[in-house]
Structure 1
Amino acid sequence: MKEKLIEALQAVKQKTPLVHAITNVVTVNDCANSLLAIGASPAMCEAVDEVFEFSQIASSLYLNFGTFTQEQEMAVYLATRGADLKGIPVILDPVACGAIPRKKVTIERLRHFGRFTVIKGNLGEIKALAGLEARVRGVDSLDEGKDGLEACQSLARAYGCVVAATGKVDIITDGKNSCFIKNGTEMLTRITGAGCMAGALVAGFCGAYKDAFWATAAALMTMSLAGELAQETSGGVLPGTFRAHLIDQISLVDGELMEKRGRAQWL
């Protein structure tokens, strides 16, 4: 099974996918740099008068709701419609949708403009979108993982897309096939933007590799492996040092490392 993950990683590095990102102001630089590190080309384009056309020439569209302004709300409608017209993968990162009802309303409206290829969030966000009780604190999930796979499968079936919940163990499912990624480190929770960076990587992988299930699994394994290596090379104590090492290690993840250190379980 790892062969598919390695294929997806190699595709990103070979094809340099153009990722159109409408993301939050806190992590826009981190998302751009993580995409550059893996070999993708980021375009942080959110101007309302540009996004419709730009989404149609991109390899994928990444929508992150972290700091969701009114201009961004209009931009995501236009960009999603443009991407849908051209069959461009759309990756949704529904940040804090469990805490802010407006974001869930926007997501439901977005479904009239196009379909999502992947929904990537923490487990609290995934459960909230699936209509289940979720424990959240702002943008953070307090959910301990109970019924996580069932929640992801339910949302995947309802939306007809791949769903990924990040956490101590990452869950990826298309409603039928499922995967657990068991790499990672607690240090990823001590910096701002690790989840956003993971979402951006999912968009990069989906822009280069057509099977969204395997692309998503490969992206999350890449992020988790990079986190492990960043902790080892930085000493694993200071979050600022860890962040710098994380970008470096994203660029160094390769097929050999996935084969050697990747821990995944398929169902």
Structure 2
Amino acid sequence: MLKSIANVLKKVRENTPLVQCITNYVTINDCANILLCFGASPAMCESKYEVEEFVNLISALYINLGTLTAEQEEASIIAVKKAKELNKPVVLDPVACGAISRKMDIARKLLQYGNISVIKGNIGEIKSLAGFSGKVRGVDSIDDGEDAIEACISLANQYNTVVAATGKRDIITDGKRTCLIYNGTPILTLITGAGCMVGALTAATSICNDRFTSTAASILAMNLAGEMTQNSMEKVLPGTFKVKLFDFIYNLTEDDILNGGKIECL
């Protein structure tokens, strides 16, 4: 599987996919920069008067519910409907859907109106969306991961999509195939936007037809870059770590994936 993941990285850099992001204001700059470093092209087009036209131009759409305004809500629905019409991949990041009922309602609307290619969230969010008991604190998961694999598979089958739940180990499934990723570092939890950046990268990799592999590729790339960043620092400080993380995403190679990836296929 690592070879296939390495090929995803190669394809993104060869094609420079245009990724439209309707995302939260806390991390919008981080998402734009991580996409650029990864080899994609970001577009933060979120006006309800522009999104339908803009979807014609894009390679993929990323929707993040983190700081969802009324206009973003309307724009997201318009955008997913148009993306479905044009068969463009859509990644949904249902931030805080386990803590705020409005977020859950909107996530379900987007799943109803659109053809969502990937649902990417933390374990608490994914379990909540799947109808399991998920433990969350605001936008953060405090879930111990019990029944997480079962919840991911259930949600993937319910919506015929790929589901990714991030945590101490990351779970990716399309309902039939499931893998676990063991790369990463706890330092990623000390910087705002790590999850949002992974979501943006997942949209970039979704240009590949095998969305199960492409989703694993985006998460592994982020986690591996985090490990490499940490290992490069004599003293690990969150601010410096975040800056260097962009550099390591930029310099990430296919060999890094082949030699450093830690994946278990179930």
Alignment TM class, shorter chain as reference: over 0.9
The Cα of 1:236 is off from its aligned counterpart by 4.9
Mapped contact 1:230–1:249 kept (Cα < 8 A): yes
CA distance in 1 between partners of 2:255 and 2:236 (Å): 27
Count of aligned pairs between the two proteins = 266
Partner of residue 194, structure 1: 194
The Cα of 1:188 is off from its aligned counterpart by 0.2
CA distance in 1 between partners of 2:3 and 2:130 (Å): 31
Partner of residue 247, structure 2: 248
Q: Work out whether 1:265 is the aligned partner of 2:264.
A: yes
Q: Work out whether 1:184 is the aligned partner of 2:192.
A: no
CA distance in 2 between partners of 1:222 and 1:40 (Å): 14
Partner of residue 144, structure 1: 144
SS of residue matched to 1:183? coil
CA distance in 2 between partners of 1:253 and 1:229 (Å): 9
For normalisation by structure 2, the TM-score amounts to 0.98
% same residue: 53
Partner of residue 90, structure 2: 90
CA distance in 2 between partners of 1:148 and 1:112 (Å): 23
- AA matched with 1:81: K
Q: Work out whether 1:103 is the aligned partner of 2:103.
A: yes
CA distance in 2 between partners of 1:5 and 1:20 (Å): 23
Partner of residue 50, structure 1: 50
Aligned CA-pair RMSD: 0.9
- AA matched with 2:231: E
- AA matched with 1:117: S
Deviation digits for residues 219-258 of structure 1 (CA, Å, limit 9, x no counterpart): 1000000000111223352100000011111111111001
- AA matched with 1:36: L
Deviation digits for residues 89-134 of structure 1 (CA, Å, limit 9, x no counterpart): 0000000000000011112222332111000000000000001111
Partner of residue 135, structure 1: 135
- AA matched with 1:126: I
- AA matched with 1:57: L
- AA matched with 1:155: L
Partner of residue 12, structure 1: 12
Partner of residue 237, structure 2: 238
Partner of residue 66, structure 1: 66
- AA matched with 1:115: N
SS of residue matched to 1:119? strand
- AA matched with 1:214: T
For normalisation by structure 1, the TM-score amounts to 0.98
Mapped contact 1:62–1:92 kept (Cα < 8 A): yes
Greater mean alpha carbon deviation, residues 38-47 or residues 102-111: 102-111
Deviation digits for residues 61-89 of structure 1 (CA, Å, limit 9, x no counterpart): 00000101001000000110111111000
Mapped contact 1:234–1:245 kept (Cα < 8 A): no
SS of residue matched to 1:111? helix
The Cα of 1:194 is off from its aligned counterpart by 0.2
SS of residue matched to 2:228? helix
